[in-house]
Amino acid sequence: MYPEYPFPSHFATIDGHLLHYIDEGAGRVIVMVHGNPTWSYYYRHLIALLSKTYRVIAIDHLGCGLSDKPQKYPYQLKNHIDNLQALLRQLRINSYSLIVHDWGGAIGLGVAGRYPAAIEKLVILNTAAFHSQRIPWRIRLCRWPFIGSLLVRGLNGFAGPAVFMAVTRRLRPDVARAYLAPYDSWQNRVAVYGFVRDIPLTTAHPSYATLQKVEEGLQALAARDVPVCICWGGMDFCFNDHFYEEWRRRFPRAECHYFKDAGHYVLEDALSEIKPLLVNFFADSSSVSGNGG
């Protein structure tokens, strides 16, 4: 049904809702955490590549992808962190590497900050997991009461434009349709809008304190000298060079790769360059320890 995405579906029941995830391969575990408005489909090529050697888990956050989309659910950062943590516990995964993108940075690193000793390696793709006031006006508009819900849920004004605004290389029509397929109605775009509203810009925001804890958790990962690889699209209108430099400051020993002509969906624009980089990054096991599953 979805091109280049032949993987069997798996579901975990968390708080009475079905959470969809991909579970491919065997060996040390790599957990892939997507953002908004994507889903595990974003990682399809990396799943196929890395599952040849590793066990790959790619989650669909509640409300996203093929997971349940409850209409009355607190789509907040803490909930998504708790859900990912619950999934890893159900799968008895206590040591793993992370690949994160967009909101997946705050979510994945939110779990990592709680249990930093579990993290083997970290790959950062155009994301943030720290406070910032930098938010494009197009996203601010989508946060406005009434107008925001009309734009995001009614007119598909967030997920829809992303399939061409988040890339510099035009997506194949069938690939663009696959990105949008889970978000084909007002009801099914509930979490897309929830993520937009959950950006914590002030201390009064319900997710502000959660993001503060995520940010503090980065220090523990840096102190452990967890191997980090940053692959960054330089044409990202949202997560721009300010965020890239902040990551480099927080992880000064990171392996950094900057793709000046790639957009926010860096795995779409720079896949051929990124694939061998990640194969080499994960193949170096000199600093990895712990149980993979």
* CATH number for the domain formed by residue range(s) 10-283: 3.40.50.1820
Instruction: Record the tokens describing residue 149, joined without a space.
Output: 């819900």
Phi, psi of 125 (to 5 degrees): -125, 105
**Beta 55-59 vs 17-24: how paired, if at all?**
antiparallel
Ramachandran sector of residue 167 (left: φ over 0; alpha: ψ -120 to 50; beta: rest)? beta
119, β-bridge pairs = 96
Q: Give the angle 180-260-179 at the CA atoms, nearest 5°.
A: 5
Position 293 scores a pLDDT of 35
Where do the structural domains in the chain lie, given as residue ranges?
10-283
For the chain of 293 residues, list the mean pLDDT of each consecutive stretch of 10: 96 97 98 98 98 98 98 97 98 98 97 97 97 65 70 90 96 98 98 90 88 95 96 95 96 98 98 98 66 35
